[in-house]
Amino acid sequence: MDDLRILFIGDVIGRPGRDTLAKLLPGLRQRERPDLVLANGENVAGGKGITPETGDDLLSAGVDFLTLGNHAWAKREGYDYLDLESRVVRPLNFPGRPPGKGMGVAATADGREVAVLNLCGRVFLDVNVDCPFRAATRALEELGGRTPFVLVDFHAEATSEKAAFGHYVDGRVSAVVGTHTHVQTADERVLPKGTAFITDVGMTGPVNSVIGVDRDQALQRFLTQLPTRLEVAPPPARLEAVVIDLDDDTGLAKGIRRLREDDV
């Protein structure tokens, strides 16, 4: 078979992000010819969380599989959705038994399987999660070599933690894509043992914003230090993503590159 190509789309922010993804993805599919399209949807519902309607918007627009993050449970109406929708995963390393699952398997049109693992970092994040490094090792042991293709969405704040995690699983997974900061980084590369890596894929959402939210509201919060309602900023919006090419025999990466598409 040919090498496997994955298109991973950065954090989709609210209605502007959903609309931009729906508008631009058909052209990206035609141009890039990905075997699988994934997106992070933890902010797809009003800028925080996911609901059945907003998740289905992304899936019906052509996304094959969704990952989430620390806001996975921000909308209670999404709890049953996380349990029932097999194409959505939330961070594996939250303690207890929260709604949803932390690892899933996506299938390409030609029947190849890609394991998708979602993990949340601990540095600078106001979350109480288990060690993502050890959680990843346990998950890989559970997979037991079922497929050579394993993609990890590492949802974290600190660049150092993301880099450390990439090297920790280098050669054991196909790719580690960082999410959460909504700012696309310019450090995409294949690590020494063959794992594709980028610190942050970026976001799919409003350009004239503060990481997706209304800039005036964000400024008010910074200037006054008072609680301020933060809403998703209006269009125009941009789609940010990475394209990852994987060797069909080993599952390791042959290349990774950034994409940035404006909705004009």
pLDDT, tens only, 146-157: 999 999 999 999
Q: How far apart are CA 137 and CA 162, in angstroms?
A: 16
Average pLDDT over residues 128-133: 95
- C-alpha to C-alpha distance for 184 and 259, rounded to whole angstroms: 10
Mean pLDDT, residues 101-129: 95
Between helix 52-60 and helix 14-32 the angle, nearest 10°, is 20
pTM here is 0.97
Q: Which residues contact 223 (CB under 8 A, 6 or more apart)?
A: none
pLDDT score of 29 more than 90: yes
Integer Cα distance of 44 and 204 in angstroms: 10
Kindly indicate the confidence band of residue 252, based on its pLDDT and cuts at 50, 70 and 90.
very high
Residue 196 has what pLDDT? 98
**Cα–Cα distance between 162 and 116 in angstroms, integer?**
17
Q: Specify the pLDDT at position 62.
A: 97
Closest C-alpha among 51, 56, 42 to residue 13: 42
pLDDT tens digits, one per residue of 1-22: 789 999 999 999 999 999 999 9
Radius of gyration of the chain (CA): 17
264 has a pLDDT exceeding 90:
no
Residue with tokens 């690590």: 191
CATH of the domain at 214: 3.60.21.10
Please say if the pLDDT value at position 263 is more than 90: no
The helix (run of H) or strand (run of E) holding residue 100 is none
Instruction: Give percent above pLDDT 70 in the chain.
Output: 100
Looking at 3-158, list the stretches that DSSP marks H as alpha helix, in order from N- to C-terminal side.
Answer: 14-32, 52-60, 79-84, 132-143
Model confidence over 166-209: pLDDT tens digits? 999 999 999 999 999 999 999 999 999 999 999 999 999 999 99
pLDDT at residue 183 in the model: 97
- Strand bridging mode 175-179 / 149-155: parallel
Residues 6+ apart with CB under 8 A from 84: none
* Per-residue confidence (pLDDT) for residue 106, from 0 to 100: 96
Q: What is the tally of structural domains in the chain?
A: 1
Q: What is the pLDDT of residue 207?
A: 96
pLDDT of 12 reads 98
Return the pLDDT at 127. 86
Q: What is the DSSP secondary structure assignment for residue 168, as one 8-state letter? A: H
- At 126 the pLDDT is 83
Cβ contacts of 101-110, under 8 Å, gap ≥ 24: 102/135, 102/139, 103/139, 103/142, 103/143, 104/65, 105/146, 105/147, 106/36, 106/38, 106/64, 106/65, 108/4, 108/35, 108/36, 109/35, 110/1, 110/35
pLDDT of residue 260: 97
Q: What is the pLDDT of residue 187?
A: 98
Beta-carbon contacts of 15 under 8 Å, excluding residues fewer than 6 positions away, are 46, 232
User: How far is the C-alpha of 162 from the C-alpha of 183, rounded, in Å?
Assistant: 14
Residue 141: domain span = 4-262
Output the average pLDDT for the chain: 96
Q: What is the pLDDT of residues 47-105, one digit of tens each?
A: 999 999 999 999 999 999 999 999 999 999 999 999 999 999 999 999 988 999 999 99
Q: Judge whether 167 counts as a catalytic residue.
A: no
